[in-house]
Amino acid sequence: MTAVTNAPGGTSERTLSVLVDDQPGVLNRVSSLLRRRRFNVDSLNVGASEQPGMSRMTIALRGDPAETEQAVKQLYKLLEVRKVVDLSNERLISRELALIKVSATDETRAQIREIAELFNARIADVAPRSLVVEAVGSVARVDSLLDMLRPYGIKEIARTGRVAVARGVGGEG
Amino acid sequence: MSSATIAPAASVAAATETPAKRPYLGAHALCDALIREGVDVIFGYPGGAVIPLYDVLPSYEPQLRHILVRHEQWAGHAAEGYARATGKVGVCLATSGPGATNFVTAIADAMLDSTPLVAITGQVGLPMIGKDAFQEVDIIGVTLPITKHSFQIERVEDVPRVVAEAFHLARSGRPGPVLIDLPKTTIIAPTTPSKGHTVEMPGYRPTMNGNGGQIKAAAKLIARAQKPVVMAGHGISISGAGAELRALAEKADLPVAFTLHGLGTLPDSHPNAIGFMGMHGHAHVNRAIDECDLLITVGARFDDRATGRVDMFAPNATVIHIDIDPAEIGKNIRVDVPVVGDAKRVLARLVEEVKPADRAEWRGRIESWRIAPPTPNFSADEPGISPFKVIAALRAATSGEAIFTSDVGQHQMWAAQWGSYEAPNRWISSGGAGTMGFGLPAAMGAQVGCPDTEVWAICGDGGVQMSSAELSTIATERIPVKLAIFNNGFLGMVRQWQQLFHGGNYAHTPIGAPDFVKLADAYGIPGLRAERPEEVWAVINQARAIDGPVVVEFRINPEENVYPMVAPGAANSQMIEADPAAAE
Ligand SMILES: Cc1ncc(C[n+]2csc(CCOP(=O)(O)OP(=O)(O)O)c2C)c(N)n1
Ligand SMILES: [Mg+2]
C-alpha cells in the first residue's frame, strides 16, 4: 500500500481560488485549517468577489498534486467555503501589488525612477529622502524589481501576495 | 457607572408574576428548539453566564432532563456515551470561561471519533466580548480546529435557526461536535416562540449516494479477488449499515476485520467475522490483511493505530475505500477505487452488484491461524487474576447483551480483543483521542440513553481516578452503571511500553489509589472486590444482582501485558505475539 505523507517543502507552486461566504471568522477558519494540516502557504489574499455576499481568497501554496487535492477537500469541509478551484494547471493571470519605500537622494532619485519605469512601476510618493514605488506584476517580477532596488536601501515593503484568475477561453462572454 | 447588566428589578418582578406571564426569552427559545430536535437529556453544569438559562430549565422537566455532573469534561463524555449508545445527538451545557474550556477535551474526542455532539457554552454579554470580562474566553477560537462547525448567536431571533443547523450538522454526513456559544445578552433577550426552522445550508451538502460507476468497479474487483478482506469501521455503525455489511459479507463470502470502532458491526459470532485488527489486533486478522489481495475499507480512516507502518500495510492489496468524507480518500493511503457516500446506501448497492462467491478456503486459512480465546474459567491454582479472563467472564455473564464502555489503556485493549461484540453500539470507547477518564462518564451517558440495557464501564485504576467524581452524579441520579476497575497498580499501558521499549524504566507509572470499595461506600454505592481468581465469578454475579450502580474492583496481575502488539513504527506483519520473557 502506498502511503500518502506530508512532505513539507514540496516546491511546486499551486494556486487555489476559493469562493467563501463573507462572514465573520471565515479567514480564521481557513487559516487555522491550513496551519493545522501543515499546508505550505506562501500567501493568502482576501477581497470582494463578483458575487454579492461572497469573498474570493487566493491561496498560494507549495506542494505536490496529492497535497493540493487534500487542501481542496479539507477546504470544502468548511461550511463557508462554496467553491474551490485549483488554478495550478490552468492558464492563469496572476499578479501581486507591492509598495516599496526606497531611500533616495538627489543623486539616486533619477536612477530609481528609471528602474521603476523598466518594470512599468509607478512612483506613488516622493519625499526628500525616499520614494514609494508602486509595482504590479507577477511575484517573480516584483522579486526582480526588489533585487534592483535593494542597493539603494529599502526602508519598507508591503506586498499583497498573488491574486489570480484563469484566462478566458474562446467564446466566453 | 453605567454598565449593561440585567436590571434586578425585572427578575424580582418575574419571580412574583405567575409563570404564564413571564416573558419568553432566548433561554426559552433554546429549550424549545432542543425539544424540537428530540433532545431529552442535557449533561451540564451552571455558572454566571448561564444562570438565566438554568432559571428556565426546571420548567422543561421532565421532558428535558438536566443531569448535573461534577466537572464539565465528564458532561461532554457523558453526552458522547449517550450519543454513541443511542445514535442520537448528545448535548452538554457549560458556563463561559473555565466551564467552556473544560469541554475542550470532550469536543476533541468527539471530533476524532465522529460523535454527534452539540456543546452549548454560555458567553459574557455581547457588549463585554473582547474586553477580557470576567470568565470571558474565546471558546469559538479555542475550539476552531476541533469542531465540525461552531456558532455564536448574537441575535435572539437566530436561536431556532442556529439550533436546527447545529443539530443537522452534528448528526448528518460525517457526524461531529458542533459548538453553540450563547452570549448572556442572547439568553436574556425577549423574543417570540418559533414554530421551527427548516435547514438551508448551501455550503453543506454531504454526498450520500456513491457513484454508480465506482460501485460497479468495486464489485468487479471483489469478483476477481482471491483473498479479499473487508475492513469494517465506525462509519458502518454510524450509518446503521450492519444489515448491509452482513448481506455483503454473506453474498460475496468476505472475511470481515474490525477497527476499534468497527467492533460489533457484524456479530462476532458470525462465521465471516474474523476479529479485531491493528496495533493490538488479533494476529490472525493482521495476518489476513497482510496477505489479502483486495482490501475493502468501509467507514474507516486508516488511522495509524489500525494500519501500523502504512507502506507495509496490506502490501499486496488493491484498495476500495468507501467513506462519506471525501477528504478521507487519499489522505493516508493511495486508493484504487474510492466511493464517496453513506455506508448504508453504498453497501446496499454493492450487495446488488457483487456476484455470489464461495471463499471457504480463504476463510479457512485465516481461521487456521486463530488462537483459542480465553475461557472465563478461574481456579484457585492460578497465580493471580488474568484480566482477559475477566473480560471473557463479563462477556459470558451478560451474554453479549450489555454495553461495555471503556477507559484507555491495557484494559481497553483486552476489552476490545475479547469482548466479542454481537451488535453495533455495544462497545463505546475513546479511540481517536484515547482520552483517559472517558469510561465512567461515557457509561453514565449510555445508561441514561439506554435505561433498560446493562451498562458496564471497564476502567483502569489510573483512568478511573480521573473521573471518579462522577460516582457522585451516578449515585445522586441513581444511574445503575456497573463500574469494573481493572486494578494493576500501574498506568499499565505506559508501563508496558517502558518495559518493552525503555529498558524497564518504570518512571512514574506505579500509581497509588484509594481503597475503591471504601470510595464507593463514600458515595453510597455498593463496592465489591475480587483479589483471587476464584472470587471473580462471585463478585460478577453479586454485582449483577444489585439493582443500581455498583463498583467492582478486580486486582489483576500487575505486570500482565497486552499481546499481540505491533511496536510503534513497525508494520502490522511484525507483531510481537507473546510475552518475550514468557517465551524463553
Ligand atoms: C488524559 C490522558 N492522559 C494520559 C494518557 C496516556 N496514557 C495512555 S494509557 C495510560 C495508562 C492508563 O492506566 P490505567 O487507567 O491504570 O489503565 P491500564 O493501562 O493499567 O489498564 C496513560 C497514562 C491518556 N491516554 N490520556
Ligand atoms: Mg492500571
Q: Is a pLDDT exceeding 70 seen at residue B501? A: yes
Containing domain of residue B218, as a range? 212-369
Res. A2 pLDDT band, cuts 50 70 90 = confident
Residue A39 · residue A63 · CB < 8 Å = yes
Mean pLDDT of B2-20: 46
Within a domain: B238: yes
- State the closest ligand 1 atom to the C-alpha of B459, by its place in the atom list counted from 1: 15
Residue at which a domain ends, from B312, B342, B369:
B369
Same domain for B415 and B557, yes or no, is yes
State pTM to two decimals.
0.94
Mean pLDDT of chain A: 92
What distance, in Å, lies between the first and last C-alpha atoms of chain A?
A: 47
**Residues B139 and B258 grouped into a single domain:** no
Task: Say yes or no: B45 and B102 in one domain.
Answer: yes
- B329 with B391, same domain? no
> From the candidates B111, B139, B147, B149, which should be mutated to test the interface with A, based on the most A CB atoms within 10 A?
B149
Amino acid, single-letter form, for residue A58: T
Q: Where are the domains of chain A?
A: 11-90, 93-165
A25 touches chain B (CB under 8 A): yes
Separation CA B495–CA B517 (nearest Å): 25
| Contact with chain A for residue B554, Cβ under 8 A | no
* B394, B516: one domain: yes
CATH code, residues A93-165:
3.30.70.1150
Q: Which of B188, B203, B235 is the last residue of a domain?
A: B188
Number of residues that make up chain B: 584
Q: What is the rounded distance in angstroms from the CA atom of residue B562 to the CA atom of residue B543?
A: 26
> In CATH terms, are A11-90 and A93-165 the same topology?
yes
Among B177, B147, B183, B180, smallest CA distance to B163 is for B180
Place of cell 464507593: B520
Same domain membership, residue B277 and residue B160: no
Residues B511, B578: one domain? Answer: yes
Ligand 1, residue B488: give the atom nearest the CA. 20
Within a domain: residue B201? no
Which value, in Å, is the radius of gyration of the alpha carbons in chain A? 19
| Cα-only R_g, chain B | 25
**Shared-domain flag, residues B96 and B63:** yes
- Percentage with pLDDT > 90 across chain B: 94
pLDDT at B15 over 80: no
Q: What is the CATH number of the domain that holds B519?
A: 3.40.50.970
Contacts with A40 (C-beta within 8 Å, 6 or more apart), sequence order = A8, A9, A10, A61, A62, A63
Nearest of B296, B315, B291 to residue B369 by alpha carbon: B291
Q: Is the pLDDT of residue B10 over 80?
A: no
Q: Residue of the nearest CA to atom 5 in ligand 1? A: B436
Q: What residue in B sits closest to A34 (Cα-Cα)? A: B145
Q: How confident is the model at residue B398 (pLDDT cuts 50, 70, 90)?
A: very high
Q: Which residue has the cell 493511495?
A: B334
pLDDT at A4: 78
pLDDT digits (tens, 9 = 90+) for B16-74: 445 557 899 999 999 999 999 999 999 999 999 999 999 999 999 999 999 999 999 99
Ligand 1, pocket residues at CB < 6 Å: B 407-411, 434-436, 460-463, 486, 488, 490-494
- The reply to whether omega before A128 is within 30° of 0 (cis) is no
Of B369, B395, B415, the residue at which a domain comes to its end is: B369
Residue B193 lies in a domain: no
Predicted confidence (pLDDT) at residue B9 exceeds the cutoff of 60: no
End-to-end CA gap in chain B: 79
Average pLDDT over residues A123-146: 96
Q: Which CATH number fits domain A11-90: 3.30.70.580, 3.30.70.260, 3.40.50.10490, 3.40.50.720?
A: 3.30.70.260
Distances (CA, A) of B298 to A38, B340, B573: 27, 10, 21
Q: Kindly report the nearest CA distance between residue A62 and chain B, in angstroms.
A: 17
Ligand 1 pocket mutation pick from B493, B559, B563 by most atoms within 8 angstroms of CB: B493
Q: What are phi and psi of B418, to 5 degrees?
A: -120, 10
| Cβ partners under 8 Å of residue B14, min gap 6 | B22, B23
Q: Look at residue B571 and tell me if it is in a domain.
A: yes
Q: Are residues B32 and B173 in the same domain?
A: yes
Ligand that lies nearest to the alpha carbon of residue B305, given by its number in the listed order:
1
Q: Is residue B200 part of a domain?
A: no
Partner B contacted by A2 (CB < 8 A): yes
Chain segment B502-525, per-residue pLDDT in tens: 999 999 999 999 999 999 999 999
Helix (H) or strand (E) segment spanning residue B544? helix B536-545
Structure confidence at residue A12 as a pLDDT band (50, 70, 90):
confident
Residues 60-79 in A contacting B (C-alpha not used; CB under 8 Å): 66, 69-70, 73-74, 76-79
**For chain B, what is the domain count?**
3
Interchain CB contacts (distance < 8 Å): A and B: 57
Q: Report yes or no on B93 lying in a domain.
A: yes
User: Are B148 and B275 within one domain?
Assistant: no
Are residues B284 and B316 both part of a single domain?
A: yes
Cα-to-chain-centroid distance, residue B327: 21
pLDDT of B171-182, one tens digit each?
999 999 999 999
Q: Could you report the predicted ipTM of this complex, rounded to two decimals?
A: 0.88
Spatial distance between the Cα atoms of B31 and B62, rounded to a whole number of angstroms: 12
Residue B377 lies in a domain: no
- What is the tens place of the pLDDT at every residue in B209-243? 999 999 999 999 999 999 999 999 999 999 999 99
Would you state the pLDDT for residue B332? Answer: 94
Whether residue B219 sits in one domain with residue B181: no
CA gap B546, B454 in Å, rounded? 11
Compute the mean pLDDT over every residue in chain B, rounded to the nearest whole number.
Answer: 95
